[in-house]
Each structure stands twice: as C-alpha cells, then as structure tokens.
Amino acid sequence: MSSPASPLPPSVRACMWMGGAILSFSALAIAVRELLRSMGIFEILFLRTFVALLIISVIVLRAGVGKLRTQRFGIHLARNLAHYGGQWCWVFAIGALPLATVFAIEFTMPVWTALLAALLLGERLTAPRLVMLGLGLVGVLLILKPGAGGGGAFVQPAALIMVLGALGYALNMICTKVLIKTDSALAILFWMNLIQTCIGIFPALPGWVWPTASQLPWVAALGCGSLFAHYCMTRAFFLADATIVVSIDFLRLPLIAVVGALAYSEALDPIVFVGAAIIFAGTYYSLSREPRRVPAKAPA
C-alpha cells in the first residue's frame, strides 16, 4: 500500500531529512563528550552499538529475519573492523580536539573514499575527482597546521588520529559499496551493530563503569542518534542529488562550532573553517560533475 504523496518537493523533503541528520550527528558528538567525563572510549563504543542493536533487532523482528541473509560475511567483518577503528579515532578526537576541528577533518572522508575506490575497486580517477583530492589535501593541511604546534610536534597527534578515523570511515564506505549490491540496508545495519557489539565488549569490560541515572539519556543518544542520523541521510540521498545532500551536510560545521563555543568555551578558529570550505568546494565540484542519477523511490 503506497503512502500518500507529499505536497512538498523532493528537494525540500531532502533538506528536512538532512536537518534531522545534522541534529543527530551533533547530539551524538555531545553525548560522547559528556560520557567521556567518566567512561573510557571502549565502553562508549560498546554502549553505542549495543543500544543500536537492541533497536535494530526490534525492526528485524517486524521485517523478518530473511532480510538479514548474506553470502559476504567476510566483507561485513572487514567493513566493521574498519568502522570500529574509525569510531575509536572519532571518539578519541572528540575528547582531545575542538568539536569543529573533528567535524572539519571528518569532511575529508569523500576524498579518501575516492582514492581507495581507485586503488581497491579500480574506479577511474577522473579530472573532477583529482581536483577533489588536490583541494582535500590543501584543506586538511590548513586544518592540521603542520609546524604550528608547540612542544616540538609537527602536527597535533589527536588531529592525525582523526585523519586515520576518516580513512577508516572511507574504507567502511568502500565495503558498503560492495555489500549494497547483494545485501539489504537492514542487513548491513544489523550485522554492523552485532559485529561491533561482539568486538567491543571485550576491551570495554576491564574499565567498565556503570552509567548513572543522569547519564542514561546520553547513553540512549549514542545508539538512537547514530541510527537516526544514518537513516535521515539515506532518505535524503533517495530524494535529492548528492550535491544537495553534501551541501546541507556542511552546515554541521558551523552548528557544532557554535555548540562548542557555548557549551565548552571552545575558540572559533577561522583557519578550520577555511580548510573545511576548501575540502567542501572540491567535494561539491567533483559531485556536480558526476553523471546524474535517475531519481529513486524513497525507501519505506
């Protein structure tokens, strides 16, 4: 039974879904920052995937376990090892860097994805993609400010760790591009949270700290925020072209910068915004030169 048509244009609905994604990603970052006051990184990662697994399991019970069928468990495992590593780097960086810097470095993920797709999947590095790679390198160098840090460090170690996190996310995207050809989106989400819950419980146990009542809302935000953010982005990509979605996603940076300034007294570094804008310009240019896809029907 088809749902009634919305009176709003698809691009407007995509903007609304991306608004939900931006708020969810921001809430997720704040939840991590708050929980890091008393919890270790491994426990936070475990709680994120465990809560998400509980939610996705309810959805699976309604949709049917047949949707979880896969013949590529090895790729699922590789994808989630990369994603878990990227998540560890992201959580570490959230605790060590200004929130705006973390999000700005995270925007390099499409750059590394294009490079890894050429190396691992044999995709062509077209001229627009080379422009994206070049501008992405310039942008990340501005953000990292090599040689500007004190203490003799060429680059802040936490910033380099976040670059590794972006590479982990890019490898995760490469595996997803392979899996989506044969596996359902529900299967990818379910195996992601199950595998990472199993991986994460062992390093989480030695330093386990039971959440207090006041921390439970932040724990809920870990699982719910992550699932809802990715669901919103999926809906947006079905409704609008990638250039529109990526453009709106860039608004995450000023929003999280304001949150960091108001909630954590973080200074607004204009160089971070300049570097992120250069990365965005390269990504937008590359996407705008890609062949236009046929609009897809939004998933139910």
How does pLDDT run across 52-111, given as a tens digit for each residue? 999 999 999 998 888 888 888 999 999 999 999 999 999 999 999 999 999 999 989 888
Cβ neighbours for 265, distance < 8 A, ≥ 6 positions apart? none
Contact 245, 233 (CB under 8 A): yes
pTM of the entire structure?
0.86
Is residue 229 very low, low, confident or very high in pLDDT (cuts 50, 70, 90)?
A: confident
Cβ neighbours for 178, distance < 8 A, ≥ 6 positions apart? 72, 75, 121
Is residue 8 very low, low, confident or very high in pLDDT (cuts 50, 70, 90)?
A: confident
Q: For 263-268, which contacts have Cβ atoms below 8 Å and span 24 or more sequence positions?
A: 263/30, 264/33, 264/99, 266/98, 266/99, 266/100, 267/98, 268/100
Identify the CA nearest to 171 among candidates 84, 82, 299. Answer: 82
Contact 94, 33 (CB under 8 A): yes
Q: Give dist(CA 244, CA 247) in Å, integer.
A: 5
pLDDT of residue 50: 94
Q: For 130-133, which contacts have Cβ atoms below 8 Å and span 24 or more sequence positions?
A: 131/282, 131/285, 131/286, 132/282, 132/283, 132/285, 132/286, 133/282
Average pLDDT rounded to a whole number, residues 41-48: 96
| The two structure tokens encoding residue 286 | 């590359």
In Å, what is the CA distance from 176 to each residue of 35, 101, 136, 244? 29, 26, 22, 21
Sign of the dihedral defined by the CA atoms of residues 162, 163, 166, 167, in that order: negative
Q: Where are the domains of the chain?
A: 11-288
pLDDT of residue 298: 38
172-182 pLDDT, tens per residue? 889 988 888 88
